[in-house]
Structure 1
């Protein structure tokens, strides 16, 4: 176990006396590695730098103090190499944890939890650092960095501990293992693992704990549907093997309960799928289309999506493209004839506007991923991007009235300044999977996960995305988040009262998150499980299970989010949920 300070953390003792000039004099007397500094600035926006460094995060909202713009390191992310702070500017800590522990085994977590209990230290947990929601960092916290919990194992058959039934082929994947490595390893064993789009997102980390949606999810389900066992250290310091037969309540909570609320995961065992050919559709418009053309295109996507969902297609739709995948046998057995017919109307539209279309059957998932997806998934970090999201029920796509409501929403957010050309939405809900597993009762219930049941009766995971400047003022941030939250309110009105949103990709400042993430019944059950395994709320994060709006939003622990949250509430006349 290694305990370190990721950035300078100045602790002033009693009677400490110093000036800024004295710090500068000290700095001039020690050796500075200019080459290393230049390399960091050159790679400032690269995901590899940010995932492999404990004090860096993919999204700036996890590094800065959103409520105090002076409390951050003012590095200009609009140029490469990144611009260094101007003369006399102070590089402040922001929300970057003051200390971190590199977790390499369960006993590291046990020691950290013991220390936190004894000294009342607040913890945060960071894996690869992709979180949008400000949960993987925290001002003054001790960070548990799980990125180096690597390792993958394949088994052709697997019986979870304490169970009797053989699950079949599985992969046991360390919490920090990136999905890119998992996809390659799975293919080497003639298998496919359901995973995230980006190769640097950990397949057994926060992606999975928040539900785990992926482009093959419409047919194969959520990550939470496919996980069969966890190795975890709970807040009492005990390392546990958790599955449907051992600690089944905790197993339920980990399958969608989100974040590190219930413990620190060391690895997860995933049910994997035999490798087969996959149909692929990739239809693009030119990037310079007008807003009106984008709205026409989106209208076409809205009209086509329900039938695509019934056929097993899933992937992404956007203001200038649709990229979809289908492993269903009907669409891979005829050399792509049915697949091309499914996308004929969008192909015609794209070609008539100078676009391109590629609809074909390819030998396997890894071939498609390497050939078509990896060149497009060089995820850039160092931006302050946020979004609002809502799961759109399939019933909205079934009537002209419902489709009209969706298009009215797009026109209304365009008036708020969101360009429809920049529209992007995952189509990754377990739409077909749910019907295959439970054809009689799919609309009435979920599949035993702690996710909101809305995941299992929705078609689109509709998002509105924007970003703030690296040097934005507090007034700019309040204005942006107010507009974002206003769009969230409109999304809620569109989706209806029984819809939900994704724990990992919602608006961090939305109200009513409890029902939105879980549904009321699941939320109440999760609270009881939290009280059982973490009665003192040692593992806490922003709007996770155990978070209390009225108590935590104004607290010092969450000042960097809370002050901003309260001002947005005032602007929109909203109130805390609990």
Structure 2
């Protein structure tokens, strides 16, 4: 399917906003309901947004000969199966109605299910507005309000909790807001220096390519396929540069957004401060629709990198070494600028990326020398390699693969996250408990634990202060965030669903018990999570966030699973979104 778009335009002046009025109805309308808008009504919306309303046709309709989109084409379907597996983000991110989430895609229209099964929309939005500026967003909000239709916001669709998908929804598709503007001299009461303004459709790989060689680096995702301005920054974010510069949400200088009430405004530490605070870490999909974000840009320079690997040739010695690694991890980042990313299986601990900004490779040898002595004592053979890069982007590409998408990040993981407190690993008893938990999770060889060693504590001598924001307080106490991870099996979805249940019912409660009082990276959670999501995902910020949500969305137009205010909604038996 070839999509044609008008030239993109990010409006720089305030668009007139008519206040949005909503009369509460119990449930949102879905196709087939008597109140669902007819073709003429949708045609009027299309005219309102300049012909940029797109009806969703699932890309996998070419793999089915039944349903409302029968168009079976065997060679094209085989090619699509390969594209799903080999180039998932490149295949699905540019499509307005698709998502990078097999669970929410379910079997409604999959390239891996029988051609005789009907191709249906399932949780895909029915229509998407290809947003080019605030007026398009305002039109979409007003239409959803007037016709009592579920509204979702999508940039890339890399969304583990399905916030950008919804049965019977109208989607605001932000993907084509691709502007990248370097501001060499940004000045405010909180910051004086360089900045970059990113449209909400910019993925990390595009930003790195654009900025590499300009003399600037930014605190942004490791995975090039990830959008920056959307759920990533609004969820707090993580990056290889957080120890040096602070959390990604700490970098935000301005949010350009339209509120659910239709107001087009800018939120900064000086104006609309409640929205600034909430958007910077309080979760996406609930306070407003972000059109762009302006973040700090930092001077670029050399980065020392490398890898370290050792294998499980003696089970007792191996897990003793893994325990020592976690126990000593605070020393890797205390009063430094360092980041260390690694994974643990039942067979291997692999550091796949040392990141030491503005240092040379000798610093890596100094950093790990005490730990290597422990490996020698335990008779565990290791391999250490180091690299030197002239820029941060070059360093990142060495570990994660070429831009824009890279080749390291899993596209369809079964995943959850947990912030590991410094106090947990420094205490020998609680550290041993954590190691027993990880040993149990990885025991059968199908799961691995991916971790990033960080320090974003307040009061660091490495970083200056940042404006107040809604980043979960547990981040400031964490030494690492870690993710149990297992790839989705397209050919055996029942197996994958069983793995999700194992993660949610068995593994995650065990990790919570080993790290009491901590939290999670709210963008990397399984949607089946059954714990105290408000405290786990938002901490003590939740009540204030809910007040801000109600102030700017008085008619409860925006909903997303596990977003602030989500428990004010429910789904009925036909997947209608209803007021609880």
- TM-score normalised according to structure 2 size: 0.80
Q: Tell me whether 1:63 sits opposite 2:105 in the alignment.
A: yes
Say if 1:347 and 1:356, in contact at 8 Å, map to a contact too: no
Distance 1:408 1:389, change over 3 A: same
Q: Distance in 2 between matches of 1:507 and 1:433?
A: 32
Q: Distance in 1 between matches of 2:250 and 2:65?
A: 58
CA offsets per residue over residues 443-475 of structure 1, 9 Å max, x none? xxx962212111011111122223554365769
CA offsets per residue over residues 365-386 of structure 1, 9 Å max, x none? 1221233331594267774x32
**C-alpha displacement of 1:508:** 2.2
CA offsets per residue over residues 337-368 of structure 1, 9 Å max, x none? 23212123555788976653223543221221
Distance 1:146 1:292, change over 3 A: farther
Q: 1:246 aligns with which of 255, 261, 271?
A: 271
Distance 1:534 1:412, change over 3 A: same
- Give the stretch that moved more between structures: 236-245 or 54-63: 54-63
Tell me the residue number matched to 2:10: none
Q: Distance in 2 between matches of 1:199 and 1:185?
A: 12
Q: Tell me whether 1:367 sits opposite 2:394 in the alignment.
A: yes
Q: Distance in 2 between matches of 1:363 and 1:527?
A: 45
Q: 1:543 aligns with which of 562, 567, 570?
A: 562
Alignment of 1:394-405 (within 5 A): 394-405=422-433
Tell me the residue number matched to 2:330: 306
Q: Distance in 2 between matches of 1:437 and 1:371?
A: 26
Distance 1:23 1:437, change over 3 A: closer
Alignment of 1:43-62 (within 5 A): 43-45=83-85, 46=87, 47-62=89-104
**C-alpha displacement of 1:137:** 0.6
Q: Tell me whether 1:322 sits opposite 2:351 in the alignment.
A: yes
Say if 2:125 and 2:170, in contact at 8 Å, map to a contact too: yes
Q: Tell me whether 1:452 sits opposite 2:472 in the alignment.
A: yes
- Give the stretch that moved more between structures: 55-64 or 271-280: 55-64
Q: Tell me whether 1:93 sits opposite 2:124 in the alignment.
A: no
Q: Tell me whether 1:424 sits opposite 2:450 in the alignment.
A: yes
- TM-score normalised according to structure 1 size: 0.80
Distance 1:166 1:354, change over 3 A: closer
- Give the stretch that moved more between structures: 371-380 or 314-323: 371-380
- Give the stretch that moved more between structures: 397-406 or 141-150: 397-406
5+ long unaligned stretches in structure 2: 1-48
**C-alpha displacement of 1:178:** 1.3
Distance 1:289 1:172, change over 3 A: farther
Q: 1:7 aligns with which of 33, 57, 76?
A: 57
Q: 1:217 aligns with which of 231, 242, 249?
A: 242
CA offsets per residue over residues 15-67 of structure 1, 9 Å max, x none? xxxxx99979x96xxx8777655543331231211111122222212312xxx
Say if 1:219 and 1:327, in contact at 8 Å, map to a contact too: no
Alignment of 1:403-442 (within 5 A): 403-414=431-442, 417=444, 419=446, 422-431=448-457, 434=460, 436-437=462-463
**C-alpha displacement of 1:324:** 4.1
Calculate the aligned-residue CA RMSD, in Å.
3.3
Structure with the higher fraction of residues in helix conformation: 1
Say if 2:130 and 2:174, in contact at 8 Å, map to a contact too: yes
**C-alpha displacement of 1:171:** 0.3
Distance 1:519 1:381, change over 3 A: closer
Distance 1:382 1:341, change over 3 A: closer
Distance 1:455 1:133, change over 3 A: same
Distance 1:516 1:557, change over 3 A: farther
Say if 2:280 and 2:471, in contact at 8 Å, map to a contact too: yes
